[in-house]
Amino acid sequence: MTLSPTDRSTIRRNRERGASDPAALHAILDEGLVCHLGFVRDGDPVVLPTAYGRDGDTLYLHGSTGARYLAGDELPCCVTVTHLDGVVHARAVMHFSMNYRSAVVHGVARKVTDPGERWRALEVIVEQLTPGAWNHARRPDRRELAATAVFALDLAEASVKIRNGPPSDDEADVLADAAWAGVVPVRTVYGTPELAPDLRGHHDVPAHVRSADHRIG
Amino acid sequence: MTLSPTDRSTIRRNRERGASDPAALHAILDEGLVCHLGFVRDGDPVVLPTAYGRDGDTLYLHGSTGARYLAGDELPCCVTVTHLDGVVHARAVMHFSMNYRSAVVHGVARKVTDPGERWRALEVIVEQLTPGAWNHARRPDRRELAATAVFALDLAEASVKIRNGPPSDDEADVLADAAWAGVVPVRTVYGTPELAPDLRGHHDVPAHVRSADHRIG
């Protein structure tokens, strides 16, 4: 299996940055907290940040049943997850770049109606935010489930793009020693948990919250 | 001026999270390094991460003249910039959320052909990555300019959404002390600059690179 079976997921620019490995796709998705969901409304593109989760080769999205874009049974969409790893300073401004890992998934998300799959989808979406949260907090009740739309997107049509390493300058600029060049790493980190002001018990931060920071880096 | 003059940029869900202040829009855009650019290709949505810059009420994008989506004179698009500020742990899994600031800009980007505006656009895109970089590194030459497409997107139709603060649980869950609740802050930070391995001179990290980390938090 490659990740780019169709024309629109074939990377044409900077081919050397493409990766066609399901493990690379899964790793990028699993590390993220927010995806950017693109869809078409009245002919125009819309891009919204939202939560997501993955179960095997399926990506799950959820939202309020009142959200217009989740009203149908199918949602043609593009889901993109990007991790920024560094700012690449080159000798020439036109060679400035970023080190990053991105996954772009194309497809038609289907509304999930099976109760068991909906339950599992909500579990993986919550677990994407913090593993262990699903077993710690109160599970969805009937009213909450009724207010929630769940969509499933197959990961079959996806592309991965990765850039890392130093700047790629023209030889002439390297020889001319035109400017400083290098990479400034960028990382996403967790801070110290802040307790809800109206906590009654549960003042100790649970282990699954304390250990969450191994996931993003 | 409000940021939501049209239907599609009006926030219908979670209205309390909307902000209609140009300063809030500018602040979110100015703090970012990557935007997610959405456009429609063959009827389907595409979302790509890319660099950008802002000059007043105009957002600039650039790319290779070989990129298919930049081939026309106009690009109907949606540009979204999102800053993740925290993971919100609630007593109930369905109230889990994220603290974030996002800007969503809708419009038809126009290809910039005026040489002066193109030059200025490239400057603000480079300066968005690191202020001071434009004056430090080699400026674009004729060949590089010929290979670069520049697009301008008016910021008139934009919406800002901000969530911050503690979880919003149901009163019953708060009273039942159902689970730990709080916010785990998330921040984006810069690491120690890594010198390009083929640097000839310029071994000292310049001041504009060392001071770059004031911009993202």
Query: Which residue does chain B place closest to A207, by CA atoms?
Result: B180
What's the pLDDT score for residue A216?
56
* Ranges A202-206, B27-31, B106-110, B142-146: which has the least confidence: A202-206
Q: Pinpoint the alpha helices (H) of chain B.
A: 22-31, 115-129, 133-136, 142-146, 171-176, 207-210
Contact call for residues A62 and A51 (beta carbons, < 8 A): yes
Q: Is the pLDDT of residue A204 over 60?
A: yes
Q: Is the pLDDT of residue B16 over 90?
A: no
Nearest CA-CA distance, residue A38 and chain B, Å: 6
Q: Give the whole-angstrom CA distance, residue B126 versus residue B52.
A: 8
What's the pLDDT score for residue A10?
44
Using 50, 70 and 90 to split pLDDT, how confident is the model at B201?
A: confident
Is A162 a domain residue? Answer: yes
Note the ipTM here. Answer: 0.91
With contacts defined as CB-CB under 8 Å, which chain B residues touch A130? 87, 89, 184
Q: Give the whole-angstrom CA distance, residue A185 versus residue A157.
A: 30
Is B209 a domain residue? Answer: yes
Is B161 a domain residue? Answer: yes
Nearest to B36 among A36, A86, A193 (CB): A36
The type of residue at B130 is T
What's the pLDDT score for residue B21?
84
Is B204 a domain residue? Answer: yes
Question: What's the pTM value of the predicted model, to 2 decimals?
Answer: 0.92
What's the pLDDT score for residue A20?
66
Q: Give the whole-angstrom CA distance, residue B215 versus residue B217.
A: 7
What's the pLDDT score for residue A203?
81
Is B1 a domain residue? Answer: no
Q: Give the whole-angstrom CA distance, residue A73 versus residue A194.
A: 39
What's the pLDDT score for residue B202?
80
Nearest CA-CA distance, residue B37 and chain A, Å: 8
Is B2 a domain residue? Answer: no
**In B28-116, beta strands by DSSP E:** 35-41, 44-50, 53-55, 58-64, 74-89, 97-111
Contact call for residues A20 and A156 (beta carbons, < 8 A): no
Q: Do B89 and A133 touch (CB under 8 A)?
A: yes
Q: Tell me the mean pLDDT in the region B43-56.
A: 98
What's the pLDDT score for residue B203?
81
With contacts defined as CB-CB under 8 Å, which chain B residues touch A178? 137-138
Which residues, including other chains, have CB under 8 Å from residue B94's CB and lie 6 or more apart?
Answer: A122, A140, A144, A148
Q: What does DSSP assign to residue B138?
A: B
Mean pLDDT of the residues in chain B? 90
Is A1 a domain residue? Answer: no
Nearest to A201 among B98, B148, B177 (CB): B177
Q: Do A47 and B38 touch (CB under 8 A)?
A: yes
Q: Give the whole-angstrom CA distance, residue A93 versus residue B31.
A: 20
Domain that holds residue A61: 7-214
Nearest to B98 among A51, A144, A182 (CB): A51
Nearest to B180 among A122, A180, A205 (CB): A205
Backbone angles phi, psi at A35, to 5 degrees: -110, 165
Is A2 a domain residue? Answer: no
Q: What are the Cα distances from residue B116, in Å, to A1, A211, B25, B50, B122?
A: 48, 51, 26, 22, 10
Euclidean distance between the first and the last CA atom of chain A, given in angstroms as a whole number? 28
Backbone angles phi, psi at A120, to 5 degrees: -65, -40
Q: Do B44 and A45 touch (CB under 8 A)?
A: no
> CB-side exposure of B121: number of CA atoms within 13 Å?
25
Using 50, 70 and 90 to split pLDDT, how confident is the model at B9?
A: very low
With contacts defined as CB-CB under 8 Å, which chain A residues touch B177? 199-202
A62-84: per-residue pLDDT in tens? 999 999 999 999 999 999 999 99
Nearest CA-CA distance, residue B57 and chain A, Å: 20
**In chain A, beta strands by DSSP E:** 18-19, 35-41, 44-50, 53-55, 58-64, 74-89, 97-111, 148-154, 158-163, 182-190, 194-195
Contact call for residues A77 and A38 (beta carbons, < 8 A): yes
B62-118: per-residue pLDDT in tens? 999 999 999 999 999 999 999 999 999 999 999 999 999 999 999 999 999 999 999
What's the pLDDT score for residue B212?
72
Which residues, including other chains, have CB under 8 Å from residue B171's CB and lie 6 or more apart?
Answer: none
CB pairs < 8 Å spanning A and B:
315
What's the pLDDT score for residue A212?
72
- Measured at the CA of B123, the angle between CA B120 and CA B125, to 5 degrees, comes to 110
Q: Give the whole-angstrom CA distance, residue A97 versus residue A155.
A: 28
Q: Give the whole-angstrom CA distance, residue A41 versus residue B40.
A: 10
Nearest CA-CA distance, residue B58 and chain A, Å: 19
Q: Do A186 and B186 touch (CB under 8 A)?
A: no
Closest residue by Cα to residue B161 from B39, B34, B17, B65: B17
How many Cβ atoms are within 10 Å of B198's Cβ, its own excluded? 12
Domain CATH for B72: 2.30.110.10
Q: Give the whole-angstrom CA distance, residue B194 versus residue B197.
A: 9
Q: Give the whole-angstrom CA distance, residue B36 versus residue B52.
A: 10
Q: Do A180 and B192 touch (CB under 8 A)?
A: no
- Domains identified in chain A, total number: 1
Q: Is the pLDDT of residue A194 over 90?
A: yes
Q: Do A166 and B196 touch (CB under 8 A)?
A: yes
> What percentage of chain A reaches a pLDDT higher than 70?
88
Query: Which residue does chain B place closest to A106, by CA atoms?
Result: B46
Q: Do A138 and B173 touch (CB under 8 A)?
A: yes
Using 50, 70 and 90 to split pLDDT, how confident is the model at A215?
A: low
Report how far Cα A176 is from the mean position of its chain's Cα atoms: 40
